[in-house]
């Protein structure tokens, strides 16, 4: 793995004055997209980068997990980008293009349930193709967790199929045999993939930004169909059967009850969970991340009034029973 020792502005000296480059970061639930985005923002040097972040759920957890990007952050409405593509998305990109301070680069992080094709076609099949340049689609894969279960999701396969670069993330949690099998599988799907390996989303930026890999010619048939009926591309969530449950509370949890909930009561249908936690036993802000069977809780400092905010994403989640269980955590 190449270390993060590049000066991004030196590595990318000729970013265009027109045709703003765009990178799309996609990947299934819990793969590490937000971690990769933070790495980009921490190592962007003097580039002015605009970020579009979207989540599946009605609480914007990812925004709270990003490092401070001040005015670089432009939020879309909640819900999967590729399921709400319309003139609102195009107008949001125009807001970036028309910003008073020139933006050098646009990075879009899709939700883990997003089929990236519709958003790709928004840049290749609308007037945006004259104002932006889709540079590459980066697909982040959890090297330890990615398995056959992911193929129950059309979106998970599309994220691989339409990626220009695949980052096998969390290789520190995967065996060498698993990594080799994954790389062979990826090459079977798309032989011309660039495959990178990483821990914690650490990838040298010249390997993923301003690399010019997206080829419009490869999408000519899809562009024609998309221009005829944009909304025909936006039904994958219904096919996959995903839904979410969110929870907010101004009262703290008890650590013991929350741990019992995770180990004994959490539904097997939950693929991903994330949130901000407040415990009776601790004054700290706690960042909670769950991906499959693994979860992690990191201490942090509060920047707002303490409260609990959680989003759980999965299939066929029984909302009423789930919320009743949540109330017992207090």
- What local confidence, expressed as pLDDT, does residue 36 receive? 93
Spatial separation of the C-alpha atoms in residues 199 and 142, rounded to whole Å = 10
Quote the strand ranges of the chain, DSSP E: 20-27, 49-53, 73-75, 105-109, 132-142, 165-169, 194-197, 242-249, 270-277, 285-291, 294-300, 308-315
Question: 72-86, 103-117, 225-239 — which one is most confidently predicted on average?
Answer: 103-117
Measured CA to CA in angstroms, residue 321 lies from 54, 267, 293, 327 at distances of 27, 11, 21, 10
Residue 60: is its pLDDT beyond 70?
no
pTM more than 0.95: no
Residue 13: is its pLDDT beyond 60?
no
Residue 67: is its pLDDT beyond 60?
no
- What local confidence, expressed as pLDDT, does residue 10 receive? 45
| Structure-token pair, residue 77 | 């409405």
Residue 65: is its pLDDT beyond 80?
no
Chain centroid, CA 236 distance in Å: 17
What rounded mean pLDDT belongs to the chain?
A: 79
The mean-pLDDT minimum among 70-79, 137-146, 177-186, 294-303 falls in: 70-79
pLDDT, average across residues 18-28: 90
- What local confidence, expressed as pLDDT, does residue 212 receive? 93
Q: Which residue has the tokens 């990191």?
A: 298
Residue 18 banded pLDDT, cuts 50, 70, 90:
low
Residue 278: is its pLDDT beyond 90?
yes
Question: 60-69, 146-155, 214-223, 315-324 — which one is most confidently predicted on average?
Answer: 214-223
Helix then strand then coil, % of the chain, to nearest 5: 35, 25, 40
Read off the DSSP letter of residue 263. Answer: I
Residue 62: is its pLDDT beyond 90?
no
Map out the domains of the chain with their CATH numbers: 8-238 (3.40.50.300), 242-327 (3.30.1220.10)
Measured CA to CA in angstroms, residue 135 lies from 45, 94, 216 at distances of 19, 18, 10
């Amino acid at each position: 793995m190449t270390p993060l020792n590049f000066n991004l502005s030196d590595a990318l000296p000729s970013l265009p004055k027109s045709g703003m480059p765009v990178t799309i970061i996609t990947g299934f639930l819990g793969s590490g997209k937000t971690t990769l985005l933070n790495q980009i923002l921490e190592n962007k040097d003097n580039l002015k980068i605009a970020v579009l972040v979207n989540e599946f759920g009605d609480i914007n957890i990812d925004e709270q997990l990003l490092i401070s990007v001040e005015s670089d952050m432009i939020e879309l409405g909640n819900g999967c980008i590729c399921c709400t593509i319309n003139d609102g998305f195009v107008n949001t990109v125009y807001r970036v293009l028309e910003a008073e301070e020139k933006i050098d680069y646009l990075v879009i992080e899709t939700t883990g349930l997003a089929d990236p094709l519709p958003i790709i076609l928004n840049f290749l099949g609308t007037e945006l193709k004259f104002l932006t340049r889709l540079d590459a689609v980066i697909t982040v894969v959890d090297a330890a967790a990615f398995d056959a279960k992911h193929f129950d999701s059309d979106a998970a396969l599309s994220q691989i199929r339409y990626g220009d670069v695949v980052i096998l993330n969390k290789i520190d949690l995967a065996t060498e045999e698993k990594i080799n099998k994954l790389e062979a599988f990826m090459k079977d799907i798309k032989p011309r993939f660039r495959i990178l390996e990483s821990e914690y989303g650490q990838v040298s930026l010249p390997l993923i930004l301003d690399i010019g890999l997206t080829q419009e010619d490869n999408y000519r048939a899809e562009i024609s169909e998309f221009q005829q009926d944009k909304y025909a591309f936006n039904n994958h969530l219904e096919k996959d059967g995903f839904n979410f449950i969110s929870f907010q509370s101004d009262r703290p949890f008890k650590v013991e009850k929350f741990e019992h909930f995770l180990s004994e009561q959490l539904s097997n249908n939950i693929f991903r969970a994330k949130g901000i936690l407040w415990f009776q036993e601790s004054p700290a802000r706690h960042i909670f991340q769950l991906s499959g069977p693994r979860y992690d809780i990191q201490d942090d400092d509060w920047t707002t009034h303490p409260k609990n905010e959680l989003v759980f994403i999965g299939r066929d989640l029984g909302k009423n029973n789930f919320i009743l269980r949540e109330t017992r955590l207090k």
